[in-house]
Every structure is written in structure tokens, then in C-alpha cells.
Amino acid sequence: MMRFIKYIPLLVSLVQAKHVVQDWDITYVTTNRGLNQPPRRGVGVNNKLPIPVVRAELGDTLILNVRNSLDVPTSVHAHGILQHGTNYYDGVPMVNGCGIAPGSNFTYEIPLQQSGTYWLHGHAAEQNFDGLQTPLIITDPNDPYPVDEEYLFAVDD
């Protein structure tokens, strides 16, 4: 009986966990980075650039339904996220899987086992530099150090 009791917090966290579903259609978009530069082709999600921030809680599962509407392969890498038993979702083409072919779909199901601010980004060619990047913020509802304000800065050159 005592061995079972120590697993109660884990069972409670699993019951409270949810699926955070994101539907991404990776597309070309026209972007202008300012500084008197002409508009150019970038890579966005759902015809948007910048890509909206992805937020979840510790213990959730991120389900990222990806449609590749580009004319080249793509992939998504969850930078800094530990892939214990799910390295096939790591998103590094030709290392632990193939890229997502043009016109194809792929679903990532990533258990979020750590809290903090991370980075979802393209891992094929230079797509992350062309805009395929966004923060992934995983909060811990039991964080012993709550904050009053949160500021997120994304710097790119």
C-alpha cells in the first residue's frame, strides 16, 4: 500500500494533463524586415509571420499537426525539449527521421516534461532564418516562484 501512495502525485498530474493542439500550415509569406529593405519571401505558419507563441503547462502533450505547403521539405525542432523515448519527434531531417515532404502532413506528439521557455523552429535548410520560429513557453502551475509580470523578447538579425 505504501508503494502505491508515492505514485498518487504522478497519477493526479496525468489526470490534469491536457493535449495542446496546434494546427500549422507551413507556407511562404511576404515579409518586410524594415530598414528600407524590399519585401522578400519568408516562411510562416497559417499565412502569418511572426508565428504566434505556443503556450502549455508542465505535463501537457503538445500535438503539432503540420501541413507542408512549401515546395521543399520541412521539419520542426523543439529546441531544448528532452525527447525521452520520442527522439523520432526531434525534427532533425536525415538524422532521426525524414523531413516532411511538400504537400504532406506530419503530427508531432511531444510530452512536455520540463518547464521554461524554449524555441520551436524549422530545422530544414534556412527556414528558421526565414521566419519558421516561435517561442514555446511551458509553465509549471506549481512553480514556487510566481512572477508578477512576464516579458518576452525575440531578437533576430
- Would you say residue 135 has pLDDT above 80? yes
Output Rg (C-alpha) for the chain, integer angstroms.
Answer: 18
Phi, psi (degrees; rounded to nearest 5) at 13: -65, -35
- Would you say residue 105 has pLDDT above 90? yes
Summarize pLDDT for 13-28 with one digit per residue, the tens.
Answer: 555 679 999 999 999 9
Compute the CA torsion angle 21, 24, 30, 36 (nearest 10 deg): 40
H or E stretch at 61 = strand 61-68
- Would you say residue 84 has pLDDT above 60? yes
Summary mean pLDDT of the chain: 86
- Would you say residue 107 has pLDDT above 60? yes
Residue in 80, 122, 116, 78 with CA at minimum distance from that of residue 99: 122
Provide the residue count of the chain: 157
C-alpha cell, 53 = 507563441
Query: Residue 102's pLDDT band (boundaries 50, 70, 90)?
Result: very high
Q: Alpha helices of 47-153 — where are they, by DSSP H?
A: none
- Would you say residue 90 has pLDDT above 80? no
